[in-house]
Structure 1
């Protein structure tokens, strides 16, 4: 459920039946959507283009990219929430891709250290892998002892997403897992890869519906791997960098705001 003025599904002011876009047009400082998501199955693994790319895609494919805007968002967990967001630190990924099942995704000529270019190559190769290759990789990874992964990582529900889905390997190996308690929040900027997995959340989202899907969805619903990979920043961030910490408000009479 969303409440906002996006043309595909606008909201209306209850007292006047006025289109919310007209209402918000009187105050240009309010161009946001409020979204409520009750997640029992993962949303597609995706990113939202930044404003420059969104404008370009809107001009080229207006039926698929219906506006020229980006879509950063702030999300607040209403109950315990699980998701994946952004890439792990390069050193952590480097340790994981040394595992034998993941070696086929590495470049033939290896650099002396794992850098952003290598990260981009591995992510692109994972996205282009066949369903058979994904299934084999997932089966082999699940047979390894958990300590092989070094740090704790989120084990995705293979029954839900399917071990043939490209997103499963990408999320499992490359991305930060997020577990939020009720009341905790995160920031998801444009150009960052993410997926919500489980939980109830409320979010404030920039006025847009542009997205590039790459996993946790049927093959027919996925966007161009080349476009997807060229859109990404490929700049890893620690999960803590996306976390929003609560602050008390001077406008709250009882400390509940």
Structure 2
């Protein structure tokens, strides 16, 4: 496979954040063995949290054929492979000193693709919109390295995945605020905002009460007391919780989330500002969810492919030390305090029926409500017609022959850039083995009823 073919093998690297699973327990870790350069040292006692695939300067991809060449530099000189994305999306990088993008302004694909694996909660976070991202980047380019927003999706790779996303239905929040006895020990200021929200559950009142909960510290005795009680009582602690969001399985997930928080973040008030206010969503294998640019979220446990607009801007307000939390008043300005049920957040997927894109129709495509990207999964032999924009593929399972190149077997962890205008053929080396490939792509011409509006 040569650069002239438009199908280019990449070197991509992991991040070792402490919330990642350890060594071989981490899918992101196991994939590094074929995703990184041959001399990469896998450390079995180290956490592997994410495998980044893209051109963002924070952790960019390189060409496998020459590990000194950034994918972005290659695309800057071979912009035909960016296709329609080059004219449809402006670069989010200014080259501002301290941003890390001083020599990486051009040649970017419009999305950032990841394999993410977590054993504990990521920080409770929200991503700034474009207006705020530009302001924050000007003020602190090292912390906010680009000027882009960051809407994202997650699709489950493990048997199940838990995460908090967007605000619950207001009546569910009211049940937490009225039926959790520990809440009565909180300050008078918080009690007043709780009462106002209960009496008049509006977005303005939700904003005030959520801000107050988010201002609690990472070492709250009340949170510890609550966690200890749940550990003793289990789902019986939620026996009075009724209606949507509180079936037996959902109550079991609440307990699971609380015990996970107790183990890794004992006393962190992020437990209250997620559990009481945000949907606790469970995904099964191949199920997906989206998080809008205005949506607070905290992934909790499991493995996913994660796809977002190209950005590394984030504001953290929970499951993190107090000194590392961002100003909640700043965060509050970009949050939309509207409830969204898990059924609304989940992505619709279907076979890629369009023969103009998938010849053998062994590909599942997801309808994504964002402009910058789409995602599909190949589980058996297929031929994909070209996209009019760039794509990145990662092999999760199996050995594959790509474009009928019998001399080169592609293995789990191998990652490829697919340039605009490049057709690809994917064939399992052994028809009896499991196969799984995920491809993030941009294609303005793909059927909107299948990939979403682009």
Match of 1:21 in 2: 72
- Displacement after TM superposition at 1:195 (Å): 1.0
TM-score (norm. length: structure 1): 0.90
- The corresponding residue for 2:239 is 147
Q: Give the TM-score normalised by the residue count of structure 2.
A: 0.53
Residue 213 (structure 2) aligned to one of 115, 126, 131: 126
Find the counterpart in structure 1 of residue 91 from structure 2.
Answer: none
Q: Is structure 2 residue 297 aligned with structure 1 residue 176? A: no
Higher strand share: 2
Comparing 144-153 with 167-176, which one deviates more in the overlay?
144-153
Distance 1:186 1:114 in 2: 26
1:107 correspondence with 2:183? no
The one of 190, 200, 203 equivalent to 2:293 is 190
Structure 1 counterpart of 2:224? 135
What is the alpha-carbon distance in structure 2 between the residues aligned to residue 56 and residue 133 of structure 1? 36
Secondary structure in 2 matching 1:107: helix
The alignment's C-alpha RMSD in Å is: 2.2
Cα distance in structure 1, aligned partners of 2:139 and 2:222: 33
> What is the aligned length?
257
Deviation at 1:189, TM superposition (A): 1.3
Which residues of structure 1 form unaligned runs of 5+?
Answer: none
| 1:184–1:23 distance in 2 versus 1, CA, 3 Å | farther
Aligned-pair CA distance for 1:148:
2.8
CA distance in 2, matches of 1:3, 1:195: 21
> Does 1:253 pair with 2:360?
yes
Aligned to 1:68: 147
Higher relative contact order (CA 8 A, sep 6+): 1
Match of 1:39 in 2: 118
The alpha carbon displacement at 1:176 in A equals: 0.4
1:212-223 matches, within 5 Å, as 212-223=315-326
- Unaligned ranges ≥5, structure 2: 1-50, 86-108, 364-377, 379-454
The answer as to whether partners of 1:138 and 1:169 remain within 8 angstroms in 2 is no
Number of the residue aligned with 2:61: 11
Query: How far apart in 1 are the matches of 2:348 and 2:196?
Result: 40
In structure 2, the CA distance between the partners of 1:119 and 1:138, relative to structure 1 (3 Å rule), is farther
Secondary structure at the aligned position of 1:148 is classed as coil
